[in-house]
Amino acid sequence: MKPIIRVENLGKQYTIGAKSEPYTTLRESLVRAARKPLDMVRRNGKAENTKFWALKDVSFDVMPGEVVGIIGRNGAGKSTLLKVLSRITEPTTGRVELYGRVGSLLEVGTGFHPELTGRENIFLNGAILGMRRAEIEKKFDEIVDFAEIEEFLDTPVKRYSSGMYVRLAFAVAAHLEPEILVVDEVLAVGDVQFQRKCIGKMEELNRNEGRTVLFVSHQLGMVSELCNRGIVLRQGNILLSGSASDAINFYVEEQAAGNVFINSDSSSKPAYLASLKVVNEQGEPLSEIEHHSAVILEMEIAVNCPHDGYSVGLGMLDRHKKRVFTINFNVGKFYNGNTGRKTFRIVFPRDFFMPGNYSWLYTVNLNIFDVFDSHQDCAGFRIIDAGSEFASYENFDNGSVFMRNYSIETID
Interval 251-271 mean pLDDT: 75
Confidence of residue 220 (pLDDT cuts 50, 70, 90): confident
**Domain-located, residue 155:** yes
Residues 23 and 122 in one domain: yes
- Which CATH number characterizes residue 333's domain? 2.70.50.60
Summarised one tens digit per residue, pLDDT across range 38-83 is: 555 444 544 455 788 999 999 999 999 999 999 988 788 998 999 8
Residues 154 and 56 in one domain: yes
Q: Around Cβ 326, how many Cβ atoms within 10 Å?
A: 11
Confidence (pLDDT) at 97 = 94
Q: Around Cβ 256, how many Cβ atoms within 10 Å?
A: 13
Angle between helices 133-147 and 162-175 (to 10 degrees): 140
How many Å apart are CA 191 and CA 194, to the nearest integer?
5
Q: Please, what is the average pLDDT of the chain?
A: 82
Total domains in the chain come to 2
Residues 225 and 122 in one domain: yes
- 337 DSSP 8-state letter: T
In terms of Cβ atoms closer than 10 Å to its own Cβ (0-12, 13-18, 19+), residue 15 is: exposed
Residues 165 and 295 in one domain: no
**Domain-located, residue 407:** no
Confidence of residue 377 (pLDDT cuts 50, 70, 90): confident
Q: Does the pLDDT value for residue 6 go beyond 50?
A: yes
DSSP string covering 183-241, please?
E-GGGGGS-HHHHHHHHHHHHHHHHHH--EEEEE-S-HHHHHHH-SEEEEEETTEEEEE
- Of 232, 254, 276, the residue at which a domain comes to its end is 254
Summarised one tens digit per residue, pLDDT across range 266-325 is: 668 899 999 999 998 888 888 888 888 889 999 999 999 988 889 999 999 988 788 899
- Of 227, 254, 281, the residue at which a domain comes to its end is 254
The pTM (predicted TM-score) of the whole model is: 0.63
Residues 344 and 223 in one domain: no
Most confident of 246-250, 256-260, 391-395: 246-250
> Three-state SS across 277-311?
EEECCCCCECCEEECCCCEEEEEEEEECCCCCCEE
- 335 DSSP 8-state letter: G
**Domain-located, residue 370:** yes
Return the percentage of the chain with pLDDT > 90, whole number. Answer: 29
Residues 35 and 164 in one domain: yes
Residues 25 and 162 in one domain: yes
Residues 57 and 199 in one domain: yes
Confidence (pLDDT) at 43 = 46
**Domain-located, residue 385:** yes
List helix spans (H) across 62-191.
78-85, 118-128, 133-147, 162-175
Summarised one tens digit per residue, pLDDT across range 155-206 is: 998 898 878 888 888 888 788 778 898 888 766 555 667 777 888 888 888 8
**Domain-located, residue 84:** yes
Q: Does the pLDDT value for residue 241 go beyond 60?
A: yes
Q: Which domain holds residue 94?
A: 5-254
Residues 284 and 339 in one domain: yes
**Domain-located, residue 400:** no
Q: Which of 8-17, 77-86, 95-104, 127-136 has the lowest mean pLDDT?
A: 127-136
Residues 159 and 83 in one domain: yes
Residues 78 and 218 in one domain: yes
Residues 238 and 278 in one domain: no
